[in-house]
Amino acid sequence: MTRSFREFTRSVLATLQELSIPYAIGGSVASSAYGAYRTTNDIDISIKMELADSEKFIKAFTALGYYVNMDAILDTVIWQTPFNVIDAASGFKVGFFSGREDASGDFCV
């Protein structure tokens, strides 16, 4: 089944919420929400993910039929490098970037 971009986006955000992983949307999707529309087939999301979250993250997204690379996720947790989650059926992609906490403990990008 091929999802629409809207369905893809909703499934990604719902999964992050179910996993209680803090996130912030960026890139074209965020700018479109503020009126600067740009055509896109991907989502840029900053997340705060701990090593303990990685296994449930992978299980949740693979259950949706998305491609997730464990090594890339581990690199993100350890080295703060970005990784992708891809829906091969539609070609839609999420670029996940590592977020952090500020001095007060709040999530920031």
pLDDT digits (tens, 9 = 90+) for 15-57: 999 999 999 888 776 666 666 566 667 899 999 888 899 999 9
The pLDDT assigned to 102 comes to 73
Domains and CATH numbers, the chain: 5-100 (3.30.460.40)
Query: Partners of 23 in the beta sheet?
Result: 47
pLDDT above 70: residue 1: no
Instruction: Give 104 or 79, the one with higher predicted confidence.
Output: 79
Please state, in angstroms and rounded to a whole number, the distance separating the CA atoms of residues 28 and 42. Answer: 8
CA distances to 36, 55, 98 from 62, rounded to whole Å, are 32, 11, 20
Please state, in angstroms and rounded to a whole number, the distance separating the CA atoms of residues 79 and 62. Answer: 23
Instruction: Kindly give the residue spans of alpha helices, DSSP state H, lying in 1-109.
Output: 5-18, 27-33, 54-63, 70-79
- Give the global pTM: 0.85
